[in-house]
Each structure stands twice: as C-alpha cells, then as structure tokens.
Chain A
C-alpha cells in the first residue's frame, strides 16, 4: 500500500520541530551557521539536513500588512523519481510504500541524481563522496509515521494512506479555496508522496512547475549506451576493410 504526507503551510508556525526531530531520528549533526537573509538556519538543505523550513516574509507597502509563510521542504518522493532513473549504479530505489531511498553503500557520488532532480533535493557531500536526502523514514513507515510528522504540533504535516491524504488535500483545498501541488494530473513526475495544499499559487512558494514525465535528460542518460551497437558494427566494418586492404597490399 502506498502512503503519503499532506503538507499544509497555512498551519505551519515555523517552530522547526520537524527539522530537529529529523536530525535526531537520523542521528545527523548540527551545522555551523552564520547570519543570512534567509531568516532561518541552516539556510538550505544539505547532506546533514534532510528537512528544512523555509521562511518567507511578504510585505505589502500599501496596506503595511506583513505575512509570514513557513514552508516545510524536503524530498517530494516522486512516483517516477528522476534521481533513481539517472543513477548509474542503482543506488536509489522507490519503495512500494512511497519512500525514495538512497543506499549509501552503493552510491559512488557521481551526482547524476543531483542534476536530474527538478526540485534540487539530493545533496552531495564532498568529504564523504556521497549523496543523501530525506528517506521519508522508510524504517518507520508504515507502522509509524515519519519522525517529522510525529513532531509537528499544529498538524501542518499529516501522514496516511495515499487515498486518505488525497481526499484530505481536496477537502482542505476547498476550505482554503487554494491549490494542490503534488498530484494534479499526475504532476509532478507521476505524483508525489508529499502533497502540498496551498492558499496561494505554487509559484508564490517557489515550487517549480514540473511535468508528468521524466526530464528529457534522463532518457538520454539511460539510452545513449545503445549507440555502442552502431559503434561495434562500424568498428567491425572498418577492421574488415582494413584487413582486406592489407591482404591486397601483401598480394601485390
């Protein structure tokens, strides 16, 4: 059975409990941080930060109204993950329950997944030579919800079977008169296991517009090896003609 998580930024208060719990569950270290104009730390996802809360401040000069948008960001766990397709060593797998997981024992740090992901999720660590990202607590699902969901105090993150979550997303969308991102006409990438219900257009949250199918680069990476067939045939033809020419020269 496939599971999913509903992300409701309108309910998020930016406490970052999900961020902290994620680190604790995965035994990830804290990172040295500095002041930046991101309003939050660490400023973005990294090899050691699977989950990140984005802080966005919206200010209307005319009405002098200020609005905070807090927004949970990590791997979307796509139905057809571009990262898994691009990985040359099969180190990324899509689990039946929904999670897309990187097997670090297999990862060779080629970073093809980093390039392929339209959401810019997989994070490379130069020192370890590996890529890592959120694995949707595949070691807990389905018996227990992901650690981030368990820690959320405002139900901005809700875990359940995919059907239930989709239904909840639709209900909430009607309530907010908003938008769903993650499973509209199988976009992006066949639908995702993290589904957003938003009060504004996804572009306001900086969510990229990703199509139903894999990015064009992935089939190129996968199928260009078939060019070895004409290469082998061409090479063979060349060797045959070279040998024939040599034989003729010898005869002369």
Chain B
C-alpha cells in the first residue's frame, strides 16, 4: 500500500458566500481581511451618513453624547480603541474558527452580528476607523509589494482602486486636520494639507461615488474584494492539495 491520500474533488463553480469567503480570507491573510473589512465599514458608514444624514444624524450625535456622559471627552478615541479591540478579537476568533468545520449558517450569523456591531460603532467613529484604515493600508501595500502570492491576483482595477483610496485618505486626513488630532500628532501636516482644506469634503465625497461607479462598472470591480479574497484562498487550497498529492 502506498501512503497516497484521497483528495476530495473541488466543486466548480466554487461556493461563494460571505462566510466562506471570510473564512478563506482570514485564514489566508489577516491584513487583507482587516483591509477589506475596514474599507467596507468606512464605505457603509460614509454612505449611511451622506444618504440618510438628516434621519440618522440625531442618533449618531446622541450616541456620542450618551457615551460622553460615561467616558468623558475622549469618547471618539475610546470608541476607536474599543472598535480595534473588538475587531481584533473577532479576527482572531475567525482565524481559529476558519480551521473548524462548522455549519455555515452559524458562522454567517456570527459574521453578520459582528458586522452590524462594527458598523454601529463605525457610524460615530468614521474618522477613527479611517485612521486605523490608513495604518492597515500602509501594511497592506507593503505586504502585497513583498509577497508575490497576493500581488499576482492584482488587476488594473485594483491599482486604480488604490489610487482612489489614496485620494480618499489624503482628503480624509485633511478633514481630520481641520481640528486637532492629526495636527497635534504631526504639526507639519497643517501646512501640507491646509491648501486643500476648502476642497477636502467635496473631493472626499465625489471620489467615494466615483469609486463606487468604477467598482460597479468595471469587470472585477463590483465584487473584486470578495473575488480576489476567494481567489487567494482557492489558490492556497489548491497548492495545499497539490502538496499533499506530492507526498
């Protein structure tokens, strides 16, 4: 008898559900997962604010005030930190979970529960989620520049996306710098960003919608995050299967 293992046949087309993709993406790359989740939260919270502002504004504002009553003036910082903690625990949990074979329904429920909670916090901490996103963005860029595995699935759409993200980041930082947080940390930012302060919000909003149009219209755009995440996890599974066949 040889030591060959039975490799189950892959289903094609593969199953694409939020839960399956999250499992794959977290198992494959934590940074990529953080990047895509933060981006999604920023997009959702930004869109909710812009489209439903007159209705949700009061709620966002009163949530801020309610939390301020308990934690004082540093609400936004605390909410940001809380968000990071919850998010990191969630990611770690998902990373372990991804190794387990559990019913998809349960994981989907857990995913959605955490996602709704994150969006709720993100609504009044959009700026701080954005600040975290910038850090993850930098790590992500460095990572994809170093590791060929992720770079190889990149398309022109992805590169243009990154350019648009870059503009969103600069204008987002400009908006933050109109007050204190960024300028307190990096005083030279004021001189660099103040010339575009007047145009900051307009560019930020316009580029968000341009990005949505771009993502929706161009092939590989509308579900590019899910598609590339799936592709990465699929490639990983494929290479694992080939490795075990070689043994």
Contacts and interface: CB of A to CB of B under 8 A. Distances in A.
A and B assemble together: yes
Interface of A: 86-91, 104-112, 114-116, 124-129, 215-218, 220-221, 224-225, 227-228, 230-232, 234-235, 237-239, 246, 249
A91 B209 contact: no
B210 interface: yes
A210 B42 CA distance: 34
Contacts of B175: 110-112, 115
A88 B198 contact: no
Contact of A89 (B13, B53, B65, B210): B53
A216 B212 CA distance: 22
Interface in B178-232: 178-181, 197-202, 205-206, 208-210, 212-213, 215-217, 219, 221-222
A63 B232 CA distance: 79
B56 A227 contact: no
A85 to B, nearest CB: 12
A115 B222 CA distance: 32
B200 A115 contact: yes
Contacts of B51: 225
B205 A215 contact: no
B222 A88 contact: no
Given A89-B57, A105-B62, A108-B64, A124 B216 contact: no
A215 B199 CA distance: 10
B124 interface: yes
A235 B216 contact: yes
Contacts of B215: 231
A234 B68 CA distance: 43
Given A90-B53, A224-B206, 12 more contacts: A88-B50, A104-B61, A106-B58, A107-B57, A108-B49, A116-B201, A126-B181, A129-B76, A217-B198, A231-B209, A231-B217, A249-B13
Nearest to B58: A106
22 contacts: A86-B201, A88-B50, A88-B53, A89-B60, A91-B57, A91-B61, A104-B61, A108-B57, A112-B175, A115-B175, A115-B198, A126-B181, A129-B75, A217-B198, A218-B202, A221-B205, A224-B208, A224-B209, A225-B209, A234-B216, A238-B222, A246-B13
Contacts of A110: 49, 175, 201
Nearest to A235: B216
B69 interface: no
Given A89-B49, A127-B73, A231 B213 contact: yes
A239 B222 contact: yes
Given A90-B53, A111-B175, A106 B61 contact: yes
A222 to B, nearest CB: 9
Given A90-B54, A108-B49, A235-B216, A221 B201 contact: yes
Contacts of A89: 49, 53-54, 56-58, 60-61
B199 A235 contact: no
A104 B65 CA distance: 10
B222 A235 contact: yes
Nearest to A87: B53
B202 A124 contact: no
A112 B54 CA distance: 14
A215 B198 contact: yes
B40 to A, nearest CB: 16
B200 A105 contact: no
A14 B53 CA distance: 42
Given A88-B50, A114-B178, A106 B57 contact: yes
